[in-house]
Amino acid sequence: MSSLPPCPKCNSEYTYEDGTMLMCPECAHEWSANAEDNAADDIKVIKDSVGNPLQDGDTVTVIKDLKVKGSSLVVKVGTKVKGIRLCDGDHDIDCKIDGIGAMKLKSEFVRKV
């Protein structure tokens, strides 16, 4: 049998080598065969609209008017959001906005202060 590791995404045992990369035929995930490179791939860096890396606890400013889904409220341009929390998903910032409450924002609509 093969001594290749299973796919880190779907745990398929049918991985194969393609040059220096490992491939999964079931989910089409590609990853490096080197262990050092795999650790770097797991770290996801979330960046703001101008490319600054964001971290938990940062303060950001909204760069565009954002309509709040399900209500008539609007988060105005220049609204300062303190103490953000990064999370996984399409909306990658969890925060509380004064006057609105808990929200999720996309990092492409904020700029680090």
Is 59-112 a CATH 2.10.60.10 domain? no
AA identity, residue 89: G
Farthest CA pair distance, the chain: 61
Give the pLDDT of residue 34: 74
CA distances from residue 83 to 96, 97, 106 in whole angstroms, order as listed = 8, 10, 15
Rounded to 10 degrees, the C-alpha dihedral 88/91/96/97 comes to 160
1-39 fold: N-terminal domain of TfIIb (2.20.25)
pLDDT in tens, 93-102: 999 999 999 9
**pTM (2 d.p.):** 0.63
Cα(87)–Cα(89) distance, rounded to whole angstroms?
A: 7
* DSSP character at residue 53: B
